[in-house]
Amino acid sequence: MSTEGFKLTYATMFNPPEEMHIQFEAALVKVKAALGQEYAMIINGKDHYSSEKFEDRSPADNDVILGVFQKGNAQDADAALAAARKAFQGWSHIPWQERVRLIRKAAGLMDERLYEFAAVIAMEVGKNRVEALGDVAETADLFRYACDRMETNNGYVYEMGQDPLSGYKATNFSFLRPYGVWVVVSPFNFPCALTGGPTAAALVTGNTVVIKPASDTPWTSRLIAECLRDAGLPDGAFNYVTGSGSSLGQALIDSPEVNGITFTGSYDVGMQIYRDFSRGHWPRPTILEMGGKNSAIVSRHADLETAATGILRSAFGLQGQKCSACSRIIIEEPVYDQLVGRLVEMTRALEIGDPTERKVYLGPVANRSSYLDYQNFAEDLHQNGRILTGGKILEEGDYARGYFCTPTLVDELPLDHPLWQREMFVPISTIARVKDLEQAMALANNVAYGLTAGFYGNSDEAQWFYDKIESGVTYVNRPQGATTGAWPGYQPFGGWKGSGSTGKNAGGLYYLPLYMHEQIRTMVSKS
């Protein structure tokens, strides 16, 4: 989104125009007035109800019921897949220019509804207001970027060479064509972008889609589905189902009706899906975007104020619950004490509370399970490391009914401790002191993940860093975020190793072809 020359991205969001706050607050009042309603799934263009329901509660105040959603089951999964199958012939055969038009229209509706979306996301996920606005604005840009790629590539139709056949003329074309029915399973932390981005890519390339959002964030995905419906997509082209991953989600994964899947979420669930989905009669495209254990390396030549600002934002933005969160901070010995001192000072100044409030930087963690995880990790770190700041939950007063945790920095944790390897997904970052950059790099790469990484140092060191680091997204000397803050068109997003399956980043040059298979069309006629 943009207001008067300001374009909101994760890198520009730290000082938004006043107007954004005014509009957010107005939308919040409107959204709060509608809390507690029941929302249906959308199958074949119609509202679809299930016999069982579940409540979506605010992580900032568990007494607040945001909405009541359908607890979809295996029959609902089948109904959604059947609707998507039925719609495929029609949707895949309309000219791609028309699909582009409809997806752009949906992006425009998202722009119009930006503030309402953001108010819902702030309450549903616990994102601060600017992060919530960013999630929506990014989604609309992902929609548009997918459309732009279709246009730039002329719908992915290319004329090839003509074979030299004496007495004949041969024309050869390469067409990329959609696979069929595509399932999108998304996580709670970017409920808009990580539902909307893959959905737009699948749709614009001609697949039909079944969306299954995280059980913590069904409302945001319902808003995306409404934009697609209101843009005029035909019935069944997209379908939105809600319910638990282990039943509804698993039923989708196990169905032979599915031709391709995009899953974004944890490593454990992603790898289980990878195995389960491979049991079909033939190999099917499986786009997995999974966890991260992202390092920022700081050299003795770094600008320490820039490093501290970038690291802080990436460690504790969205309470450490970004796949790109800076959960490991690796600092060369000569600048260690100075940088750590500054990080502790800045961390203590962060405002924690109701994420819809303007002054708040950290909201609650997303759910009870994350809240308990935080407490268990903190206890372990108290015993095995040195907690420099944080390490406790907040339970008094306004914090009593939410999942509030203090941002935590820890050092002196032995390098063979399992928490150097495990994605904690709460506001905890561990800090290591290293004698040189070689040791820093060995530590950064010694992990099963390869999502993002940051570096602070001089330009020669930066080239060395790019060459050696095993990560899909890398940043150097970035105050806006050491390891976080990718934006479509600028920093396509994806991971290596256990962070992703395709090696091609979302919102980037090579993403859309993942949703299509190639058909070569040769036509021979007598010359």
86 phi/psi in degrees, rounded to 5: -60, -35
d(CA 114, CA 192): 11
Q: How far is the CB of 445 from ligand NDP (least distance, A)?
A: 18
d(CA 522, CA 19): 57
Q: Does 292 bind ligand NDP (CB under 6 A)?
A: yes
Q: Which is nearer to ligand NDP, 323 or 453 (CB)?
A: 323
Q: Does 502 bind ligand NDP (CB under 6 A)?
A: no
> Taking a C-beta distance cutoff of 8 angstroms, is the pair 212, 183 a contact?
yes
Cα–Cα distances (Å) from 12 to 191, 478, 479, 487, 490, in that order, read 21, 12, 11, 11, 13
Q: How far is the CB of 34 from ligand NDP (least distance, A)?
A: 23
Q: How far is the CB of 297 from ligand NDP (least distance, A)?
A: 20
> Taking a C-beta distance cutoff of 8 angstroms, is the pair 386, 410 a contact?
yes
Q: Does 409 bind ligand NDP (CB under 6 A)?
A: no
Q: Does 196 bind ligand NDP (CB under 6 A)?
A: no
Q: Which is nearer to ligand NDP, 480 or 484 (CB)?
A: 484
Q: Which is nearer to ligand NDP, 130 or 269 (CB)?
A: 269
∠ at Cα 482 (476, 405), nearest 5°?
A: 175
- The DSSP call for residue 246 is I
Catalytic choice (323, 326, 461, 470): 323
- Establish whether 227 is a catalytic residue: no
Treating both helix axes as pointing N-terminal to C-terminal, what angle do 18-32 and 129-152 enclose, rounded to 10 degrees?
100
Cα–Cα distances (Å) from 157 to 100, 174, 392, in that order, read 15, 6, 57
Q: Which is nearer to ligand NDP, 131 or 423 (CB)?
A: 423
Site map (CB under 6 A) of ligand NDP, residues 216-245, x = contact:
----------------------------xx
- How many alpha carbons fall within 13 Å on the CB side of residue 63? 4
Helices then strands, counting H and E runs in the chain, come out as 14, 26
Which of residues 12, 62, 172, 250 is near ligand NDP by CB under 6 A?
250
275-300 as b/e, with b when 16 or more CB fall inside 10 Å? Answer: eebeeeeeeebbbbbbbbbbbbbbbb
Residue at shortest CB range from ligand NDP: 245
Instruction: Collapse the DSSP code of 469 into the 3-class scheme (helix H, G, I; strand E, B; otherwise coil) and give the result.
Output: coil
> Taking a C-beta distance cutoff of 8 angstroms, is the pair 291, 451 a contact?
yes
- Establish whether 405 is a catalytic residue: no
Q: Does 115 bind ligand NDP (CB under 6 A)?
A: no
Which of residues 92, 221, 264, 483 is near ligand NDP by CB under 6 A?
264
Q: Does 187 bind ligand NDP (CB under 6 A)?
A: yes
Site map (CB under 6 A) of ligand NDP, residues 82-111, x = contact:
------------------------------
Q: Does 190 bind ligand NDP (CB under 6 A)?
A: yes
Q: How far is the CB of 407 from ligand NDP (least distance, A)?
A: 18
Q: Does 214 bind ligand NDP (CB under 6 A)?
A: yes
Q: What DSSP string runs through 199-213?
A: HHHHHHTT-EEEEE-
Q: Does 246 bind ligand NDP (CB under 6 A)?
A: yes
Q: How far is the CB of 280 from ligand NDP (least distance, A)?
A: 15
Q: Does 265 bind ligand NDP (CB under 6 A)?
A: yes
Q: Does 447 bind ligand NDP (CB under 6 A)?
A: no
| Per-residue three-class SS string for 370-400 | HHHHHHHHHHHHHHHCEEEECCCEECCHHHC
Q: Does 183 bind ligand NDP (CB under 6 A)?
A: no
Q: Does 488 bind ligand NDP (CB under 6 A)?
A: no
Which of residues 423, 457, 484, 514 is near ligand NDP by CB under 6 A?
423
d(CA 420, CA 173): 51
| Per-residue three-class SS string for 54-89 | EEEECCCCCCCEEEEEECCCHHHHHHHHHHHHHHHH
Q: Which residue is it, tokens 């992603």?
A: 270
Q: Which is nearer to ligand NDP, 16 or 488 (CB)?
A: 488
Q: Which is nearer to ligand NDP, 271 or 335 (CB)?
A: 271
d(CA 25, CA 276): 45
> Site size for ligand NDP, by CB under 6 A?
35
Catalytic choice (138, 289, 332, 470): 289
Tokens linked to 248 = 């509804």
Residue 409 CA from chain centroid, whole number: 24
Tokens linked to 482 = 């050491």
Q: Does 186 bind ligand NDP (CB under 6 A)?
A: yes
Q: How far is the CB of 17 from ligand NDP (least distance, A)?
A: 28
Q: Which is nearer to ligand NDP, 77 or 331 (CB)?
A: 77
Q: How far is the CB of 506 from ligand NDP (least distance, A)?
A: 7
Q: Does 289 bind ligand NDP (CB under 6 A)?
A: yes
Which of residues 87, 119, 237, 269 is near ligand NDP by CB under 6 A?
269
Q: State the residues that interact with ligand NDP by CB under 6 A.
A: 185-190, 194, 212-215, 244-246, 249-250, 253, 264-266, 269, 272-273, 289-292, 323, 423, 425, 451, 493, 495, 499-500
Catalytic residues: 289, 323
